[in-house]
Chains A and B, each alone.
Chain A
Amino acid sequence: MTGEPLLRMRAITKSFLGVRVLHGVDLDLRAGEVHALVGENGAGKSTLMKVLAGVHRPDGGTIELDGEQVAFEHPVRAQRAGVATVFQEFNLLPERTVAENVFLGREPLRRGLVDGRAMERATAALLADLGLEGIAPWQKVRSLSVAEQQIVEIVKALSQDARVISMDEPTAALADHEVEVLYRIIGRLRERGVAVLYVSHRLKEIFDLAATITVLKDGDLVGTWPAQELGPAELVRQMVGRPVSAVFPEPLEPRGEHVGRVRLSVAGGGNSQVDGIGFEVRGGEILGLGGLQGSGRTEVAHALFGIARFTRGEVRVDGRVVNPRSPRQAVRAGLVLVTEDRKSQGLALHQSVLANGRLVLDAVFPFGSGPRARRLPGVLSSLELVARGGHGQEVQYLSGGNQQKVVLAKWLAAEPGVMVMDEPTRGIDVGAKQAVYRLMRELAADGVAIVLITSELPELIGMADRLVVLDDGRIAGELPGDADEEAVMALATGSAPREEAAS
Chain B
Amino acid sequence: MTAPASPTPSAPPPAPEADARRRPRLGALSSLPRGGTATVALILLLIFVVIATQNPSFFEGPPLMGFGKKAAPLVILAVGQYLVIVSGEFDLSVGSLVGAQVVIAARLIDGDEAMTWPVLALMAGFGLVVGLVNGLVTTLLRVPSIITTLGTMLVLFGAVRFWTGGAPTGALSEAFRVPGRNGIENVPVLYQIPWALLIAVAVVVAGVLLMRSPYGRTLMATGDNDTAAAFSGVRVWSVRTLAFVASSLLATLAAVLIGGYAGVTAQVGQGLEFTAITAVVLGGVVLGGGRGTVLAAALGALTVEALFTLFNQLYLPSTIQPAAQGLIIIAAVAYASRRGELRLPGRPRRRPDHPTEHTLGSSRR
Contacts and interface: CB of A to CB of B under 8 A. Distances in A.
Interface string A312-350: 000000000000001110110000010111011111111
A72 B269 CA distance: 55
A19 B231 CA distance: 33
A77 to B, nearest CB: 15
A308 B356 contact: yes
B232 interface: yes
Interface string A355-389: 11011111110110100000000000000000011
Contact of B350 (A16, A57, A90, A367): A90
Contacts of B230: 307, 327
* Residue from the set B26, B234, B291, B351 with the largest chain A CB neighbour count within 10 Å: B351
A350 B217 CA distance: 12
A388 B17 CA distance: 20
B165 interface: no
A364 B221 CA distance: 14
A1 interface: no
B326 interface: no
A326 B221 CA distance: 18
B232 A410 contact: yes
A17 B357 CA distance: 33
Given A18-B20, A366-B215, A344 B350 contact: yes
Given A18-B25, A389-B27, A348 B228 contact: yes
A326 B356 CA distance: 13
A499 interface: no
Contact of A344 (B31, B221, B225, B233): B225
Given A90-B349, A307-B356, A348-B290, A16 B235 contact: no
A339 B232 CA distance: 10
A363 B233 CA distance: 6
Contacts of A331: 233
Nearest to B28: A17
A89 B353 contact: no
Contacts of A352: 30
A341 B351 CA distance: 8
A437 to B, nearest CB: 22
Interface stretch (A129-137, A142-150, A218-226, A464-472): A142-150
Interface in B200-249: 213-215, 217-218, 220-221, 224-225, 227-235
B353 A94 contact: yes
A18 B24 contact: yes
A46 interface: no
A216 B190 CA distance: 67
A328 B228 contact: no
Interface in A387-431: 388-390, 392-394, 396-397, 410
Given A56-B17, A344-B227, A349-B225, A364 B233 contact: yes
A348 B234 CA distance: 12
Contact of A327 (B17, B233, B349): B233
B338 interface: no
A57 B31 CA distance: 28
A351 B290 contact: yes
B220 A351 contact: yes
B20 A351 contact: no
B217 A146 contact: no
B231 A346 contact: yes
A348 B225 contact: yes
A89 B349 CA distance: 6
Nearest to A427: B351
B16 interface: yes
B352 A341 contact: yes
Interface in A35-63: 56-57
B23 A18 contact: yes
A298 B31 CA distance: 39
Interface in A117-164: 142, 146, 149-150
A2 B88 CA distance: 56
A51 to B, nearest CB: 11
Given A15-B20, A56-B17, A349-B225, A359 B218 contact: yes
Given A331-B233, A355-B220, A389-B30, A150 B214 contact: no
Contacts of A362: 214-215, 217-218, 221
A490 interface: no
A150 B231 CA distance: 26
A325 B29 CA distance: 40
A346 B228 contact: yes
Nearest to A346: B228
A298 B227 CA distance: 16
Contacts of A394: 29-30
A217 interface: no
A172 B357 CA distance: 19
A307 B20 CA distance: 41
Contacts of B26: 16-19, 388-389, 397
Nearest to A344: B348
A363 B220 CA distance: 11
Contacts of B234: 328, 359, 363
A356 B221 contact: yes
A91 interface: yes
Contacts of B235: 326, 328, 363
Contacts of B224: 348-351
A461 B20 CA distance: 45
A91 B349 contact: yes
Given A17-B26, A146-B352, A302-B356, A350 B291 contact: yes
22 contacts: A18-B24, A56-B16, A90-B350, A302-B356, A307-B230, A307-B360, A341-B354, A344-B225, A344-B228, A348-B225, A348-B229, A349-B348, A350-B291, A359-B218, A359-B228, A359-B232, A389-B30, A392-B30, A394-B29, A394-B30, A397-B26, A397-B29
Pairs of residues from A and B, 10 with the lowest C-beta to C-beta distance, nearest first: A362-B214, A348-B224, A366-B214, A348-B221, A363-B234, A364-B233, A344-B348, A328-B233, A17-B26, A173-B351
Given A351-B217, A362-B217, A390-B30, 5 more contacts: A299-B356, A327-B230, A345-B231, A359-B217, A362-B215
Interface of B: 16-17, 19-20, 23-27, 29-31, 213-215, 217-218, 220-221, 224-225, 227-235, 290-291, 344, 348-354, 356-357, 359-360
Interface of A: 15-19, 56-57, 89-91, 94, 142, 146, 149-150, 172-173, 298-299, 302, 305, 307-308, 326-328, 330-331, 337, 339-341, 343-352, 355-356, 358-364, 366-367, 369, 388-390, 392-394, 396-397, 410
